[in-house]
């Protein structure tokens, strides 16, 4: 799938973030897969390996400010991260967690960023 150069990418499942209108990101959905009665061993192994890879290769913002929240989007240049998210998507779906890939050219007001991602407040938009 070809994505325009300025397109940000977010992977979500269909659970809502508690107290918000936006859907849960994949890292927050990992427990759903682990708790599944139908999770195949290969998928759980893949999830564990990828969780470790992301722990080592993706920064986590501590806080953005009092009461501030945001949604994480991968920058278009984060090719290796995006490829590993697609692998995580396949493993989660094998465990019964449906995953959707969202794209946008405007993720909202950026409150934090690094080389691979932005965290943005979506405002009135729903992702």
pTM across the whole model: 0.85
Query: What pLDDT, on the 0 to 100 scale, is given for residue 53?
Result: 98
Q: Is the pLDDT of residue 113 over 80?
A: yes
Query: What pLDDT, on the 0 to 100 scale, is given for residue 24?
Result: 80
Beta bridge partners of 23: 16
Query: What pLDDT, on the 0 to 100 scale, is given for residue 65?
Result: 55
Q: Kindly state the helix (H) or strand (E) to which residue 8 belongs, with its residue range.
A: strand 8-16
Rounded to whole angstroms, the Cα distance separating 33 from 38 reads 9
Summarised one tens digit per residue, pLDDT across range 29-74 is 888 888 888 899 999 999 999 999 999 999 988 765 555 678 999 9
Length of the chain, in residues? 127
Rounded to whole angstroms, the Cα distance separating 74 from 22 reads 17
Contact of 85 with 11, CB cutoff 8 Å:
yes
Q: Kindly state the helix (H) or strand (E) to which residue 100 belongs, with its residue range.
A: strand 99-104
């Amino acid at each position: 799938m070809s994505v325009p150069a300025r397109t940000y990418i977010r992977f979500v499942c269909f659970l809502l973030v508690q107290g918000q209108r936006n859907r849960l990101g994949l890292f927050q959905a990992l427990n759903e897969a682990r708790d599944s009665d139908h999770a195949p061993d290969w998928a759980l192994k893949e999830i564990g390996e990828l969780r470790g890879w992301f722990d080592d290769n993706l920064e986590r913002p501590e806080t953005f400010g009092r009461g501030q929240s945001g949604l994480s989007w991968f920058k278009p240049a984060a090719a290796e991260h995006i490829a590993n998210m697609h692998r995580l998507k396949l493993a989660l779906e094998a465990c019964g967690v449906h995953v959707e890939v969202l794209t946008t050219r405007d993720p909202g007001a950026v409150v934090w960023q690094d080389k691979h991602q932005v965290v943005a407040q979506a405002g009135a938009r729903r992702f």
